């Protein structure tokens, strides 16, 4: 079908803690698709109020993030409607959004990940066998929402209390020090690595989405062996959760040259500061073409 005859509905906004970022991603995606000749409408889905696809929608472009976006719920509803959509399917989205399920699949596939354990209730001290530095993170959140860095034992109880506010289940994870890398996968292609250097030292929500708070280097200036290892781990992670079409895998390269996968994002951001567009640009794929490629992969499904 020609671009001008294809009617696309961009889902953006939603109900998650990442709503504002989703709206920015969605607006940029819609503008890019319109410039490519597609008929584009936007929808801000809210499950409590119900939503209805605009008449004649041929395909949905998901620019949602977080709960009711990346977690498989929207995907399952679109499956029931029989409408194709961008990104991974419902089950892969559910697994990829859940850090514990992701870990189970990845470890079974031989992916190197930091040591971790699950915390389901508040406690004043770290579990036996643990000591700082550690990372606390909600099991089901994105964009570093609820992530806490604990460098001293006395910081733990308050940090855990804050992290547990997001869903009531958290992971305590060994903090691996090193260079932060984002590895994009587009179709069968691993994109050039992006090195992320937050000026605050922590790549938190503010560092991710505030212009000037983080430096990005793409392609990352790392040795060929580490590049190959990172690309292999990204693909292993991608396939372990059953992802489709595109995703971003975040990892740490430590001082010994070992790569440690932290998580996968099955609907990576597509706004001004996002990492996947930076990686695509390094291969000569501009933002407009990136959005079109993602859309066309959905159409072919």
Q: Is 143 a catalytic residue?
A: yes
Active site residue: 248, 274, 287, 292, which one?
248
Nearest partner of 170 among 206, 117, 133, judged by Cα: 117
Active site residue: 93, 250, 274, 292, which one?
250
Nearest partner of 68 among 58, 59, 60, 76, judged by Cα: 76
Q: Is 263 a catalytic residue?
A: yes
Active site residue: 163, 180, 269, 292, which one?
269
Active site residue: 13, 14, 16, 18, which one?
18
SS (H, E, C) 47-77: CCCCCCCCCCCCEEEECCCCCCCCCCHHHHH
Q: Is 257 a catalytic residue?
A: no
User: Which spans in 36-182 are helix H?
Assistant: 73-81, 90-97, 99-108, 156-164
Secondary structure of residue 8 in the 3-state scheme: strand
DSSP string for residues in 198-262: ETTSS--HHHHHSTTSEEEESS----HHHHHHHHHHHHHHHHHTT--SEEEEEEEE-TTS-EEEE
Q: Is 18 a catalytic residue?
A: yes
Active site residue: 38, 209, 246, 287, which one?
209
Q: Is 131 a catalytic residue?
A: no
Active site residue: 173, 263, 287, 292, which one?
263
Active site residue: 163, 265, 274, 292, which one?
265
Q: Is 269 a catalytic residue?
A: yes
Q: List active site positions.
A: 18, 143, 209, 248, 250, 263, 265, 269
């Amino acid at each position: 079908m020609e671009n001008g005859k294809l009617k696309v509905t961009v889902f953006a906004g939603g109900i998650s803690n990442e709503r504002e970022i989703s709206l920015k991603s969605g607006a940029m995606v819609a503008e890019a698709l319109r410039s490519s000749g597609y008929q584009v409408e936007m929808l801000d889905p809210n499950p409590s109020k119900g939503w209805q696809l605009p008449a004649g929608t041929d395909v949905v472009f998901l620019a949602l993030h977080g709960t009711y976006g990346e977690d498989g719920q929207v995907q399952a509803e679109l499956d029931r409607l029989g409408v194709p959509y961008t990104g991974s399917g419902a089950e892969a989205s559910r697994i990829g959004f859940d850090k514990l399920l992701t870990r189970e699949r990845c470890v079974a596939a031989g992916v190197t990940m930091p040591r971790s354990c699950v915390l389901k209730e508040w406690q004043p001290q770290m579990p036996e066998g643990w000591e700082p530095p550690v990372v606390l993170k909600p099991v089901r959140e994105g964009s570093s929402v609820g992530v806490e860095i604990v460098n001293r034992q006395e910081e733990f109880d308050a940090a855990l209390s804050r992290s547990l506010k997001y869903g009531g289940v958290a992971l305590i994870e060994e903090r691996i020090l090193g260079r932060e890398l984002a590895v994009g996968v587009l179709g069968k292609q691993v994109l050039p690595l992006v090195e992320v250097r937050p000026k605050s030292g922590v790549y938190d929500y503010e560092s991710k989405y505030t212009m000037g708070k983080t430096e990005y280097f793409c392609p990352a200036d790392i040795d060929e062996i580490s590049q190959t290892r990172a690309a292999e781990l990204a693909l292993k992670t991608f396939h372990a959760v059953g992802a489709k079409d595109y995703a971003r895998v975040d990892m740490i390269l430590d001082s010994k040259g070992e790569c440690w996968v932290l998580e996968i994002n099955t609907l990576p951001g597509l706004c001004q500061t996002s990492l996947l567009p930076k990686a695509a640009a390094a291969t000569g794929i501009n933002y407009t073409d990136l959005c079109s490629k993602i859309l066309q992969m959905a159409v072919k499904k």
